[in-house]
Amino acid sequence: MRSVSLDTITEVVTKTVEGAGDARLKEILSVLVRHLHQIVEEARLTHQEWEYAVNFLWRAGQISDDSRQEFILLSDVLGVSSTVDLVNSANNASESSVLGPFYVTDPPGLPVGGDMIQGQPGQPVLVEGVIRAPDGTPLPGAVLDIWQNADNGLYDVQEADRDGYNLRCRMITDDRGAYRFTTVRAKPYTVPDDGPVGDLLRATGRHPWRPAHIHFRISKDGYRELITELFDSEDRYVDEDAVFGVRESLVADYTLTNDADEAARHGLPTPYLKVVHDFMLAPKG
Ligand code: BEZ
Ligand code: FE
C-alpha cells in the first residue's frame, strides 16, 4: 500500500511484522505497534513532545554503563518490572519482587545460623524461616542468595573504598528446610535520581525512596526460582515504594524479642529484633 492514513497505518505496519519467523516475536511486535500508535493518537502527541521523548531515551542510553542501567530503572519506576513479576508469578508460591541492580553472582557461603553483622554498626536482627513446597513440606538443600544494604543505606557494591563482600551471602537450608542468620536492620534508600529517570520523578512530584528490605533469590532442583524481597513493616516508605515492589505478603514485622538462650546462641544483646518468614517455592512444569 502506497498511501497510509490514520485509519490504516496500524494495520499497515502490523502487516510488516507478519513475516517474522518467530511466532512469539510476531505476537509481541504486533501488540507493541498497536499500543505505540494508540498512545500517539490518544495523547495527540506533538512533534516537539515526540522529540522530547526520543531525547529522554537518548539521555537514558548516555548515562547507562556496566554498573548503571537507566532503562531498567525507567522500567522500575513506571511499574513495568513489577508488572512482569506479577504476570509471571506462580499462584502456588511466595510472591516475587524486583531483583534490583545490586545482585552479585556467587556470594560467599554462610552456614545456617551464621552472622552477617561482623561487628558493623546497626540494629541487630535475627532473621529465620523455612523454605517450603506448596503443601508445606520443608525443602532441605534449597539455595538462598541473600543481600541487603548497611546502616549507612549503601550496598557493598556502592562503596567505592570497600574491598570484598558485606551483607550478602549464599545459604543452604538445613535438613528441616530452615534458613537463619543475624544481620543489621536494612535501611530505606533512594534509587539513582541524577539522570533522566530522576527528572521524571521530580516532574511528577515523586520521591526516589525504596522502603528497607532484604533481597532473596531462592532455588532448588525441581522448583521454580523465586526472586523476592522482605520488607520492614515499620518503614515509612512501605506504602510508597518508588519501584512498586511491595506486596502485602512480603511485609514482615521486626519483633522485639527477649529469649536469652537464643540471644546467647547468636551473640545478640537482649532484647533483640526478630523476623520470621517462610517462603514457598512452586514445582517446575
Ligand atoms: C533495589 O532493590 O536494590 C533496587 C531496585 C530497583 C531499582 C533500584 C534499586
Ligand atoms: Fe534493594
**Domain 83-280 sits in CATH 3.40.50.620:** no
Q: What is the pLDDT of residue 160?
A: 83
Q: What is the pLDDT of residue 196?
A: 98
Q: How far is the CA of 243 from the centre of ligand 1 (A)?
A: 7
**Phi, then psi, of 16 in degrees rounded to 5:** -70, -20
Please give the mean pLDDT across all residues of the chain. 96
Residue list, ligand 1 pocket, CB within 6 Å = 73, 76, 98, 100-102, 191, 210, 243
Give per-residue pLDDT as tens, 29-45.
Answer: 999 999 999 999 999 99
Residue listed under C-alpha cell 574491598: 163
Domain ranges of the chain: 1-45, 83-280
Q: Look at residues 177, 197, 194 and name the one whose alpha carbon lies nearest to residue 243.
A: 197
Residue with CA nearest ligand 1 atom 9: 100
Q: Which amino acid is at 265?
A: R
Strands 226-232 and 213-219: antiparallel
Span 53-74, average pLDDT: 94
- Of 85, 97, 194, 210, the one to substitute when testing ligand 1's pocket (max ligand atoms within 8 A of C-beta) is 210
> Burial level of 8, CB count in 10 A (0-12/13-18/19+)?
exposed
- Of 98, 209, 217, the one to substitute when testing ligand 1's pocket (max ligand atoms within 8 A of C-beta) is 98
Residue with CA nearest ligand 1 atom 5: 100
Tell me: pLDDT of 1 over 70. Answer: no
Span 133-148, average pLDDT: 98
Residue with CA nearest ligand 1 atom 6: 100
Whole-structure pTM value? 0.93
* % residues pLDDT > 70 (the chain): 100
Give per-residue pLDDT as tens, 195-254.
Answer: 999 999 999 999 999 999 999 999 999 999 999 999 999 999 999 999 999 999 999 999
- CB of 143 closer than 8 Å to CB of 172: yes
Q: How far is the CA of 90 from the centre of ligand 2 (A)?
A: 22
